Structure 1
């Protein structure tokens, strides 16, 4: 990705939650490869006002002889949407406070126009309009919530281009030097479909596709009909695979955000499952009483139990308040949800990646076009 973004000539990027998925050390390695900076004006080292070394609060770029300040913002939800331990050394400060601090600095350094790029959602962009107006900021760009946004609120343009690089937003600004003001001339959401590929970018993508295919091309199963990422069948499939790998466990609990794509019709290979469960989460095993278990499940996906008609295990046995149950969850969820650590401060780290049980289960079923994975799906709601 860095190679492609370098080739495309990116000037800057806002730091999002997934920049931390492989720890700050890995982020710093990627940063060394980048020809552009990562921006965030609202990440500070805990207990200080210092921006961490991997970020800049803003930059000033010159285009057509005009100095443009670009301020970055990172989602306030980051401590909960990446592995919490990976950002434990940082605080994410309110967006408006960051703009109030750094917009004047950028202007004092000669910025004639300021724009905001943020890994933030539409409602958060809307909440920044009044702050943007104080500094004549004409544009706020967002991300994170996978929304397509192209609208003007009180003369401030809000833009987002959706998700997965399927589109981009093109905006033309005209700067009036006499009045020191910027005017939006044109806006467009452009779909990344058709056209002639850039040969150098195509070569970079092709190289990494080949490397990925070499590592992840092993065929492990077959699917006769697509299984949706948000379907009951998918939730049950993932949760049940953990219980197959750990047969002494009673219940499995995970979050829907850890499941990231469908299993498409056709051959299932390792790449399919890595795309489905892409994070480096490992499985923890906890000992919880029935009362604690019920308190922990919240709105999470569950295996080995049901809440329909009361709380019971998969075999119909009632879950009793004082009985201790073996419960599986991810290290991510354990860290993000304080209830787990409150009830079991010393869980067993199995060191098994959360996707491995699903790979092993699909392999064990020996599925093919005559015996597809769909034959083994459980479509029964558990809550």
Structure 2
């Protein structure tokens, strides 16, 4: 029958059938939104089949290449923003493929912004600096606080609903420079206020001026001192000027901060300034307050802000803060801010991240936390930023720089006073041996007091002096502490023990001395290293004979654990070491003598008296080991977001049934025509 039907009649039949089906089965066109948010029907857009693609139907450009400035690695956020672009709730500037968070916020309602933020991981960075030691001005390696403020504000200026940062200090903020010392830390407090410092550990050098400044520093700087292990002996409670912990809340995330001071404080500041306090190891306090913060304050993470060191030795992290990480209960602490030993450090100990940012404002430590939308900690990474390496490219923060200039003008007369000309650099590699600066300072101490031998601590000499004009500002930089000269009489055997104690120490600078020449065996244990000691005239030190010795008041009473307890006729001259050296150098000039005062080897001196000049005319500097900067082989870590992105809106049209029917009809026609052709 079908073969007898004409081709024309069959086509007419199929056309009629298609029209009837179109009336029986209504087609519902999906409404999609153009960029102006007005609803239009898909059927009226175009008959171009390309518009049926999910991507092109909902948008007029490809958003895969879009970048959210500052959040390029946040795939989850990008997916959500692309979704908002697809439905027209967010628009890009003409021709741009980038958008900022502020531009996103401006285009969204409060409810839409809440919805956007709700399902996204939150990131919080804790930025730390430590041991800035009053380094207000820019110098050779120190960026100065104006440039450091610029770098810090790169983080805090980005704070918003999904990212936040705050600033903490590892302590030792004030003592160490002329400007800070003469103004009792005032410039540092203004810097702290400007950058929004939240909290600081209590450093050992915070006690150099006693305890009367803590409350004013805290108030003027707008931050809280934290020290859970600093106990007042009279009350058996935490020192009144410090708190054990602080809770910081950002974007619904709570981070508990616990502070720790170093027990080294007992002998790394004037012992008389801390006689009323005791310092525990801190382990018990961290466990106690860590549990409280988690159980009662319901914090999402716990961080310990310490003035305790962390450094790599033979590839292994060591130091007081490392001991804390090893000793506290597992899972009690998530991260530690280290300080005190002036290192750049980033590492992990027992799952605890540790970061330290150098010293003198030369760098920053960084602890990066990522939390899921429910507040659960996903990851922590530690890193550091060596700011000083790019300091010439950093622009000063205008407000802080104006403050620095005001203080420079105020102190110009005092700090600019010329002391003397200097023909050679006074080197100060105090962690590598006895230095030319150390010998020159000790020579001055010896001459001022008429002593046989002078001994001072390497940690008390804070910087080298470069050749050229030496000013009062230079002296304040080198000798920032108001130490006085103390004379005494000591037996030869006690002098030997004291000098031996200062050789190759592990936690401080080498002891500096003059008036004697010392031979020692490096591999021997402490107390048994020195094999011979001679006065400058070549005569051997006699163990039972008393000699006149001068040191500083810090060391005389046990600073750095030096033991002068067996001395007799002890006299604190109350002459400030820095001021007396200034007068001597101003009147007589600076005359450094390069003397080999410390020799690793055997004393083969002939038993005859030789003059100081003859004995040393060919000697060169002094047993300074090769000066090598410590390089920590830890790269800055980057937190990677592994969260699954949100699905894009389903923008495809529901034409499936109609398309299937049309396809069936087309196939039927094709089959018939082919068959008809073969039959005819």
- TM-score of the pair, normalised by structure 2: 0.52
Counterparts of 1:28 and 1:150, CA distance in 2: 32
State the partner residue of 2:309: 121
Aligned partners of 2:467, 2:400: CA distance in 1, in Å? 29
CA contact (8 A) 2:300 2:375 kept: no
Moved over 4 A (4+): 130-133, 185-188
Q: SS of the residue aligned with 2:402?
A: helix
Bigger shift: residues 305-314 or 285-294: 305-314
1:25-83 Cα shifts (integer Å, max 9, x gaps): 13344234231101111111137641001111110111112111111111121112111
Matched, 1:24 2:24: no
Could you tell me how far 1:191 is from its partner in structure 2?
A: 1.3
- Secondary structure class of the residue paired with 2:212: helix
Distance 1:262 1:174, change over 3 A: same
Contact 2:228 2:245 in 1 (8 A): yes
What is aligned with 2:275?
Answer: 88
1:307 counterpart = 2:531: no
Distance 1:355-1:279 versus aligned 2 partners, 3 A rule? same
CA distance in 2, matches of 1:136, 1:339: 39
| Deviates further, 296-305 or 270-279 | 296-305
Contact 1:4–1:205, Cα closer than 8 Å, also in 2 = no
> 1:315 is paired with a residue of what secondary structure?
coil
Which whole-Å deviations, capped at 9, do the CAs of 1:247-286 have from their partners, x for residues lacking one?
2x22111111111101013210011111111111111111
Q: 1:49, 1:94 → 2: CA distance?
A: 16
1:188–1:335 Cα change, 3 Å = closer
Distance (whole Å) between structure 1 residues aligned to residue 455 and residue 343 of structure 2: 28
Question: Which region of structure 1 is more displaced relative to structure 2, 120-129 or 179-188?
Answer: 179-188
Quote the residue 1:4 is aligned against.
191
1:56 pairs, out of 243, 256, 259, with 243
Q: CA deviation at 1:188?
A: 5.1
2:287 is aligned to 100
The equivalent residue for 2:370 is 174
What are structure 2's unaligned runs of at least 5 residues? 1-187, 311-317, 503-510, 520-530, 599-680
| 1:163 pairs with one of 353, 359, 367 | 359
After TM superposition, give the deviation of residue 355 of structure 1 in Å: 2.0
| SS of alignment partner, residue 342 of structure 2 | coil
1:352 aligns with 2:575: yes
- Counterparts of residues 186-335 of structure 1 (less than 5 Å): 187=383, 189=385, 191=387, 193=391, 194-230=393-429, 232-247=435-450, 249-298=451-500, 299=502, 300-308=511-519, 310-335=532-557
Whether the aligned pair in 2 keeps the contact of 1:253 and 1:301 (CA below 8 Å) is: yes
The residue aligned with 1:152 is 348
SS in 2 for 1:102: helix
Pair 310,128 (structure 1): closer, same or farther in 2 beyond 3 Å: closer
Distance 1:185 1:290 in 2: 53
Please give the secondary structure, in 1, of the residue aligned with 2:564.
helix
Match of 2:347, SS state, is strand
1:67 aligns with 2:289: no
Output the CA distance in 2 between the equivalents of 1:261 and 1:234.
9
The 1:379–1:114 alpha-carbon spacing in structure 2 relative to 1, beyond 3 Å, is: same
- Distance in 2 (CA, whole Å) between partners of 1:129 and 1:296 is 34
For residues 326-356 of structure 1, what are the alpha-carbon distances to aligned partners after superposition, in whole Å with 9 as ceiling and x for unaligned?
2111110011146313333x61110111223
Tell me if the contact between 2:253 and 2:375 (Cα under 8 Å) persists in the aligned partners: no
Per-residue deviation, 1:209:
2.5
Structure 1 residues 135-144 or 156-165, which shifts more? 135-144
Which sits farther off after the overlay, 259-268 or 103-112? Answer: 103-112
Structure 2 residue aligned with 1:364, among 582, 587, 611?
Answer: 587
Q: Which has the larger radius of gyration?
A: 2
Q: Helix, strand or coil: the match of 1:284? A: strand
Cα distance change on mapping 1:323 and 1:188 into 2, 3 Å: closer
In structure 2, how many angstroms separate the alpha carbons of the residues matched to 1:86 and 1:339? 18
Partner of 1:370: none
2:227–2:260 Cα contact (<8 Å) kept = yes
Q: Distance in 1 between matches of 2:328 and 2:300?
A: 14
Shift of 1:120: 0.9
Structure in which a larger fraction of residues adopt strand = 1
Deviation at 1:97, TM superposition (A): 1.4
1:110 to 285, 289, 298: 298
Distance 1:351 1:52 in 2: 30
Is the CA contact (8 Å cut-off) linking 2:353 and 2:382 kept in structure 1?
no
Alpha-carbon distance, 1:313 to partner = 2.2
How many pairs does the alignment contain?
373
Q: Does structure 2 conserve the Cα–Cα contact (< 8 Å) formed by 1:13 and 1:38?
A: yes
Unaligned stretches of 5+ residues in structure 1: 367-372
1:154 CA drift (Å):
4.1
CA contact (8 A) 1:284 1:331 kept: yes
Take 1:64 and 1:260, find their aligned partners in 2: how far apart are those partners? 42
Once the two structures are superposed, the pairs formed by residues 31-50 of structure 1 within 5 Å of their partners are 31-46=218-233, 49-50=236-237
Alignment partner, residue 159 of structure 2? none
1:179–1:272 distance in 2 versus 1, CA, 3 Å: closer
Kindly provide the CA deviation profile for residues 269-304 of structure 1, in whole angstroms up to 9, marking residues without a partner as x: 011111111111111111223333333333232222
Superposed displacement of residue 159, structure 1: 0.5
1:185-236 Cα shifts (integer Å, max 9, x gaps): 6855251523332211111222222233332210111223422113632121
Distance of 1:302 and 1:188 partners within structure 2: 36
The aligned residue for residue 26 of structure 2 is none
Distance 1:382 1:327 in 2: 16
